[in-house]
Structure 1
Amino acid sequence: MGKHRKAVPSVASSAISSAISSRMTSAAPSRASSPRPAIKPFRFFDLPAELRIRVYEQLLCTRKPLDLDPSNYRLVHPRLSIFLVSRRMYEEAYQIFYGQTIRLFPHPYHGKFFNTKKPLLQRLPVKYREVITSIELLLGPGWHKPPRCHNVLPALGLRDCISLRTLKIWVDCDPTDSIFNGFRGPNATEDTYVWFCVDMLHGILEQVPSMETVQIDHDERVKKQSPLTAALKRKVEEFHKRFGWGPCRNAIKDKDVVDIPGLEKAMASMGISNVNEPPRVVEILA
């Protein structure tokens, strides 16, 4: 049998195949992408100071006061990455972050921090204390046995708060109410916790001469003229500080105040004279 010879491509077929492949190659998009125009960095510090402050507030400020909270790692820690951008941004940003309201003593809901030895203010360096402008004092929780950290000793660092202007007091409950009878513990009276809070307020106002305004707010279960709020208000007036009620207090309608216009309408419907009308003198002739 004769050997089979391999088919040798002709010159014409080779030319046709090379032409087709060259057309397909030219029609297909090139893998090498064209160079994109370089994106210029945004010149943040060219913005006016007012706009930069607004940006910092949107990034750093939280909806609630800064406190020792287990959720800080998730809610607060990511915000602080802006401090690492540059030295100039750090110098501008930290004043905004620590310029928001800071809770003086931990909230009882944060169990492991409520009885801590060092509150947040005491843990901060002096540099950060100097830019604090507002603090919140929470009263009521732990009234039967206040934690040891609830004191205003010099170690707390209040004297370093040279920019502090506003003190916000939130009264969660007033132990002078009769509902707390039998729960005050031995050697404790109705006024024990009241004097404890007044002494604490006295220490704050004494150590922070830059304080201008004291705002008292409370839960709807606490009366506006309760012994605790009244004693705190007197202490504020004693130091000649500006006093005001908080937004929650203003939103609550006093239940112990008589609505005079409504009373007048009710008396008028019954044919009774106005409560503000002076009494009439009727002369009886014998």
Structure 2
Amino acid sequence: MAPRRPQRRAIRTAVDPALPTPDQSTETTPVSSAFPSAYPSEAENESDAEEGILSAPMTPPATGAVVPQTPPKKRRIPEKPFRFLDLPSELRVEIYALHFEGIDQVVDLDSDNYKRVHKKLAIFRTCRTIYHEASHVFYSTHTFRIFPTQPGRFFKTKKPLLARLNTNQRRSITSLELRLGPGWNRPPRGWVVNAALGLSECVNVRQLTVFVECDPSDSVFKGFRKADGFYETFSRNLLDDVLAEMPFLDRVHFDAWSSVKKTGAMMTGLLEVARARGRKICWGPERGWSEDEEEDEGGQRDQHEQTMAQLQAAMAFLGTT
């Protein structure tokens, strides 16, 4: 005998049986109602109004109504770059001079040149015209030291500053300085006047300053000198070689520290060389010498302490080299 199937119980809705059951509509839903309406509902309008969103009207404005128009965008006109070379040459020269401010008046071989000088010279790479103008301003407004005096590797170099410049740069130089005193007991081998130095190409030099830092003939140097008259002779020969390479130079400016005597062996020999070469002698502002000045030997003796200080500085310099 087959088992009896359990009778299915009618599924009761969760609706309260006391409420009437809705009748199913016999009318079919139109196809158009299956798509969303293109008009916003009242709930959407209220929501947009609360959020501050104003929707554009779907119907055209009435006749005579003013329609707000969006202002046209201004066309951007490209700015033309400033043409530096359009300035007068006088103004360009002034700008070059301002650009080179911060560089020492006397330029020497120094390890700090990369920070103070090299970055300023980057203007030479702009173009050919600016290179010629700016380089002429730089080399004609600064004094260049013939032989390096800064302690370190440059002091003993065989290639001084002038030898590192090209012909055009040397021709722009108007002022040179020969400093005597460093290495008075053993001058560097690089202090030699030759063709590689390029003095003969410095045709526009109008001022040569010979600055004497110390006079080894003074008695305070006794016992430290390599030989009597050694550095004085070396200095005279060096100045004579410099003047021989520069026949176009008509005058020499002499200056010194306060401990140097005009009547000492050092200055006497240098003045004789300048006069023998037919050069006019001028005096620098540091020492304050004049043509008619007579040395006061008594006053010079009072400067013994200053001389000793200069000697100590020379000894410290000699120790670093």
Q: Which range, TM-score by smaller chain? A: 0.7 to 0.9
Provide Cα deviations, 1:194-236, integer angstroms capped at 9, x if missing partner.
1211111111111111213211111111123322122212221
Q: What is the identity percentage for the equivalent residue pairs of Structure 1 and Structure 2?
A: 39
Structure 1 runs not aligned, ≥5 long: 3-7, 24-32, 260-286
Asked if the contact 2:109–2:150 (Cα under 8 Å) also holds between the matched residues in 1, the reply is no
Tell me which amino acid in the other structure corresponds to 1:52.
Answer: R
Aligned residue for 2:220, secondary structure, equals helix
Displacement after TM superposition at 1:41 (Å): 3.2
Aligned residue for 2:172, secondary structure, equals coil
Displacement after TM superposition at 1:255 (Å): 7.0
CA shift in 2, pair 1:22/1:11, >3 Å: closer
Higher deviation after alignment, 48-57 or 165-174? 48-57
Mapped partners of 2:76, 2:114: distance in 1 = 39
Equivalent residue, structure 1, for 2:86: 46
Please list, as runs of the form range in 1=range in 2, the aligned pairs for 1:182-201 lying within 5 A after superposition: 182-185=223-226, 188-189=227-228, 191-201=229-239
Equivalent residue, structure 1, for 2:144: 102
Tell me which amino acid in the other structure corresponds to 1:70.
Answer: S
Equivalent residue, structure 1, for 2:198: 157
Equivalent residue, structure 2, for 1:221: 259
Displacement after TM superposition at 1:93 (Å): 0.8
Provide Cα deviations, 1:175-209, integer angstroms capped at 9, x if missing partner.
01011111112xx21x2211211111111111111
Please list, as runs of the form range in 1=range in 2, the aligned pairs for 1:17-166 lying within 5 A after superposition: 17=50, 20-21=52-53, 39-60=79-100, 62-99=103-140, 100-109=142-151, 111-166=152-207
Mapped partners of 1:244, 1:157: distance in 2 = 24
TM-score by length of 1: 0.75
Asked if the contact 1:119–1:149 (Cα under 8 Å) also holds between the matched residues in 2, the reply is yes
CA shift in 2, pair 1:248/1:10, >3 Å: same
TM-score by length of 2: 0.67
Displacement after TM superposition at 1:103 (Å): 0.7
Which of 14, 35, 52 is 2:47 aligned to?
Answer: 14
- Count of aligned pairs: 240
**CA RMSD across the alignment:** 2.9
CA shift in 2, pair 1:46/1:182, >3 Å: same
Please list, as runs of the form range in 1=range in 2, the aligned pairs for 1:273-284 lying within 5 A after superposition: none
